[in-house]
């Protein structure tokens, strides 16, 4: 069996230098002296037989080989830390951990009641939220960073399985004192000249672009692109613009009066949400499937995603 030329401390060093190219700062983070760091770099280059860094004043410039190793190192170190946490959980009766994320949103009011529900049915299964995977959930699912993605729309593909969770509707949101507040629904001509905040400028089929903006070629003022929908709610509540977001994710802010919501168009824009997972064989995938099925049944029986 062939073993890697580099050990964990080399990968930690490369990952650190990718984020902190100054030798003194990187050495401090690693808990070693700058001279020891330089020695470790030379040792790694000698073992691999390729250059990893070039010096520019007191900073290190990564070669293509080092950049590639840094990407791998970040995944490997994260996986090792996860394995350690999983091993620790095993002493408390948890045998499987399902990692999940929610597409675009960081709204987890539903998680505590669902976790209690899950523990009553699968006491040896734990959940881990990977919030950082929300911006590229399918890539995270493909590279095994997460096991379960809660997202709008069904995902196809031979290697994916999607289970329906609940049906929702988009909401046009605004401050309570906005001129459009009190409307049952918002149409295209209503938003001309309105300041509009969005988390993506990429048009999605059958969403507000297709149903509200495009039909009459009426568009708002694109004032901000904010990638965190929760931050958009704060901006809207402060009267700095309007937006369109998932109804279930903003219902709490609507119920407490911080913002006002209206339907998108007279018929509304329905959106179905699904739990998507890898369609693979193995014990861990069977556990993820069971968690997804329990989540779907719980959501439909309790309307748990919309309850606050």
Q: Quick one: 174 and 249 in the same domain?
A: yes
Give the N- to C-terminal CA distance of the chain in Å, as an integer: 54
The DSSP code for 232 is H
Instruction: Report whether 252 contacts 171 (CB < 8 A).
Output: no
- Are residues 189 and 155 located together in one domain of the fold? no
CATH number of residue 242's parent domain: 3.40.190.10
Q: Is the pLDDT of residue 53 over 80?
A: yes
Q: Cα–Cα distance between 67 and 72 in angstroms, integer?
A: 9
Please indicate, yes or no, whether residues 189 and 257 belong to a single structural domain of this protein: yes
Residue 88 lies in a domain: no
pLDDT at residue 90 tops 60 = no
Structure tokens at 132: 């950082």
61-65, 88-92, 296-300: range with highest mean pLDDT: 296-300
Does residue 259 form part of some domain? Answer: yes
* Residues 142 and 228 both lie in one domain: no
Q: For position 24, which CATH number holds?
A: 1.10.10.10
Which spans in 20-175 are helix H? Answer: 23-30, 34-48, 64-90, 111-121, 137-142
Domain membership of residue 87 (yes or no) is no
**Confidence tier at 217 by pLDDT (50, 70, 90):** confident
Q: Could you tell me if residue 3 is inside a domain?
A: no
pLDDT digit string, tens, across residues 4-49: 788 888 988 998 998 888 888 999 988 899 899 999 999 999 999 9
Question: Residues 203, 217: one domain?
Answer: yes
In-domain check, residue 212: yes
Asked whether residue 294 falls in the same domain as residue 149, the answer is yes
Does 130 share its domain with 195? no
Listed residue (51, 53, 49, 65) closest to 21, CA to CA: 53
How many domains would you assign to the chain?
A: 3
In a domain, 196, yes or no: yes
Q: Is the pLDDT of residue 91 over 60?
A: no
- pLDDT band for 293, please (50, 70, 90 cuts): very high
- Same domain? For 158 and 280 the reply is yes
Q: Is the predicted pLDDT of residue 213 greater than 90, yes or no?
A: no
- According to the model, what pLDDT value does residue 308 have? 60
- Per-residue pLDDT tens over the stretch 224-276: 788 888 999 999 999 999 999 999 999 999 999 999 999 999 989 999 999 99
Q: Report yes or no on 214 lying in a domain.
A: yes
285 and 262 part of one domain: no
Are 188 and 51 found together in one domain? Answer: no
Domain housing 55: 8-75
pTM: 0.70
The domain boundary, picked from 47, 75, 103, lies at 75
Query: Are residues 157 and 280 both part of a single domain?
Result: yes
Query: How many Cβ atoms sit within 10 Å of the Cβ of residue 304?
Result: 19
Residue 37 lies in a domain: yes
The predicted pLDDT at position 209 comes to: 73
Sign of CA dihedral 286, 290, 291, 296: positive
Give Cα separations from 276 to 28, 61, 291 (angstroms).
Answer: 42, 40, 11
pLDDT of residue 307: 74
Residues 116 and 40 in one domain: no
């Amino acid at each position: 069996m062939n073993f890697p030329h580099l050990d964990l401390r080399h990968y930690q060093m490369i990952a650190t230098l990718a984020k902190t190219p100054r030798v003194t700062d990187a050495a401090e983070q690693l808990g070693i002296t700058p001279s020891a760091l330089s020695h470790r770099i030379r040792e790694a280059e000698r073992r691999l037989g390729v250059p990893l860094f070039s010096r520019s004043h007191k900073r290190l410039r990564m070669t293509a080989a080092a950049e590639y190793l840094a990407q791998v190192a970040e995944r490997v170190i994260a996986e090792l830390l996860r394995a350690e946490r999983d091993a620790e959980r095993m002493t408390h009766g948890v045998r499987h951990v399902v990692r999940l994320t929610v597409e675009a949103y960081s709204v987890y009011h539903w998680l505590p009641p669902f976790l209690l529900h899950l523990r009553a049915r699968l006491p040896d299964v734990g959940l881990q939220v990977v919030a950082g995977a929300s911006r590229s959930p399918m890539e995270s699912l493909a590279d095994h960073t997460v096991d379960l993605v809660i997202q709008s729309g069904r995902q196809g593909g031979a290697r994916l399985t999607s289970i329906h969770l609940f049906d929702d509707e988009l909401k046009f949101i605004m401050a309570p004192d906005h001129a459009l507040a009190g409307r049952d629904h918002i149409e295209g001509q209503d938003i001309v000249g309105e300041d509009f905040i969005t988390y993506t400028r990429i048009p999605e089929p059958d969403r507000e672009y297709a149903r509200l903006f495009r039909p009459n070629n009426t568009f708002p003022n694109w004032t901000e692109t904010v990638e965190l929908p929760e931050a958009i709610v704060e901006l809207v509540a402060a009267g700095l613009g309007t937006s369109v977001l998932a109804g279930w994710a903003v219902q709490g802010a609507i119920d407490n009066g911080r913002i006002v919501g209206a339907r998108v168009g007279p018929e509304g824009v329905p959106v179905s949400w699904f739990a998507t997972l890898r369609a693979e064989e193995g014990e861990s995938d069977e556990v993820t499937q069971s968690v997804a099925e329990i989540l779907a049944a719980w959501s439909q029986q309790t309307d748990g995603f919309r309850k606050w």
